[in-house]
Amino acid sequence: MGEQQASTGPGPVVPDTGSGSGKRRLGVMGGTFDPIHHGHLVAASEVAALFHLDEVVFVPTGTPWQKSQRAVSPAEDRYLMTVIATASNPQFSVSRIDIDRGGATYTIDTLRDLRTLNDDADLFFITGADALSQILSWRDHEELFALAHFIGVTRPGHDLTDDGLPKGGVSLVEVPALAISSTDCRDRVGKGDPVWYLVPDGVVRYIDKRQLYRGE
């Protein structure tokens, strides 16, 4: 980690992590992506630029245990939408590790597996303000910060804070505000409203082709 401070606009100040170990810098964007939308993509792109990441790997959840109150779309549909949305960006990739592991998805497993697969890399886990505020409820949360540096990004309607989280383990970053959620996209499709420009064009087509979210 470098020692300079990089301001990200009117929001929080983050440490400049642009220099340091000389290792590959791998961003990790975990999510249910049901569906993936431009809020996810802008957050990943912005963090990649600010933190000089070599790559961002999107990791769709297998079974997101904290979303068990609703039916989540099949993992293969969420995986394919994530591939479609990220395909044109050479810096973005998609991993199946959480889907293929089976069972409930825990970030501790995601990060352990990614560390094993990428022992030449420093990991940066990207999370929105809403998810960051829930981290203390995640499995083995006290061990997460040794595996990756966490980057919390602003999200309209949510306070971005690192209260209660380990000092130095988390950076807070202001990203362009996109008030988009997967919930809203699903609701819109269910009502017959358009989701053009909220999600990538290919994802609009895929939702239509697979008739996702019609009954919601």
Ligand X SMILES: O=C(O)c1ccc[n+]([C@@H]2O[C@H](COP(=O)([O-])O)[C@@H](O)[C@H]2O)c1
* Distance of alpha carbon 33 from alpha carbon 75, whole angstroms: 9
Q: Least distance in Å: CB of 178 to ligand X?
A: 16
Q: Does 152 bind ligand ATP (CB under 6 A)?
A: no
Query: Using CA atoms, how far apart are residues 23 and 119, in angstroms rounded to an integer?
Result: 9
Contact segment (CB under 6 A) with ligand ATP among 28-36, 46-54, 83-91, 102-110 equals 28-36
Distance (Å, whole) CA 206 – CA 200: 10
The dihedral through the CA atoms of 30, 174, 179, 92 has a sign that is: negative
- Stretch binding ligand X (CB under 6 A), from 49-57, 106-114, 198-206, 207-215: 106-114
Number of chain residues interacting with ligand X (CB under 6 A) = 14
Between CA 39 and CA 139 the distance in angstroms is 26
62 binds ligand X (CB under 6 A): no
Span interacting with ligand ATP, options 46-54, 87-95, 175-183, 192-200, rule CB under 6 A: 175-183
Q: How far from the centroid of its chain's Cα atoms is residue 138's Cα? A: 15
Let me know: does 94 contact 86? Beta carbons within 8 Å. yes
> Would you say 29 and 111 are in contact if contact means Cβ atoms under 8 Å apart?
no
Contact region with ligand X (CB under 6 A), list: 14-22, 27-35, 150-158, 195-203 = 27-35
Helix axis angle, 201-210 to 75-86, nearest 10°: 150
In the complex, minimum distance from the CB of residue 214 to ligand ATP, in angstroms, rounded to a whole number: 17
90 three-state secondary structure: coil
- Provide the token pair at 134: 């829930």
Told to check if 67 binds ligand X by CB under 6 A, we report yes
Q: Scanning residues 46 to 105, which ones bind ligand ATP (CB under 6 A)?
A: none
Question: Shortest approach of ligand ATP to residue 68 CB, angstroms?
Answer: 13
Out of ligand X, ligand ATP, none, what residue 183 binds, judged by CB under 5 to 8 A for its kind, is ligand ATP
Q: Which residues of the shown chain bind ligand ATP in the complex (CB under 6 A)?
A: 31-34, 39-40, 43, 127-128, 130-131, 153, 155, 178, 180-183
